[in-house]
Amino acid sequence: MTEHHPFHTNFTPEVDVPLDLVVRQHVAQARKLQAEAVVASMAGAWRGLSDGVRASAGWLLEQRRRAATHRALRACSERTLADIGIPREHIHLAARGVDLGDPIAVSEARLWQRLAASIRRTHERRREQLRIYRELGAYSDRDLEEIGLRRSDIPGIARTA
């Protein structure tokens, strides 16, 4: 006797197989596919993690190499530095591997240093503005009136600081 699948009325097994066995076969196939997908996902995650660790280790080794080079060059005398052609003010560039004979490379390296210094100055200025804003904001309206200010003046004063 053949049983019909409840959701697929046109499905009739070729052989006289109970519906329960067909369902179990589909469940087994689905579990197998799920297990394969989990294994593939875990393998991909492991590859990504190992690549990240490898890249981090490489970056750390490079930073240590640069620091050791920087320390070694700082310990050199002026004569030794002159003999190898590194001005003391360019030690940090030499430690980073910048070709000191290439004026464009030196100029670009200095550009990034100036940019970083500008960002630091902007950050410090903004921190000071916030400090002034918070300090003046903590005063009561009466205290502000005594020093000749209104609460609406605070943002402008903080910006010009």
Same domain, yes or no, for 113 and 87? Answer: no
Tell me if the pTM is above 0.75: no
Same domain, yes or no, for 125 and 146? Answer: yes
Q: In which residue are the tokens 């490079």 written? A: 62
Same domain, yes or no, for 110 and 68? Answer: no
Same domain, yes or no, for 3 and 71? Answer: yes
What is the phi-psi region of residue 148: left when phi exceeds 0, alpha when psi lies from -120 to 50, beta otherwise?
A: left
Out of 45, 77, 97, pick the residue that ends a domain.
Answer: 97
pLDDT at 113: 77
Same domain, yes or no, for 77 and 6? Answer: yes
| Number of domains, the chain | 2
Instruction: Kindly state the average pLDDT of the residues 38-67.
Output: 92
Cβ contacts of residue 29 below 8 Å, gap of 6+?
A: none
Out of 97, 124, 141, pick the residue that ends a domain.
Answer: 97
Same domain, yes or no, for 115 and 155? Answer: yes
Domain residue limits at 153: 102-161
How many C-beta atoms surround the C-beta of residue 158 within 10 A?
19
Same domain, yes or no, for 3 and 80? Answer: yes
pLDDT digits (tens, 9 = 90+) for 114-161: 788 899 999 999 999 999 999 999 999 999 999 999 999 999 999 887
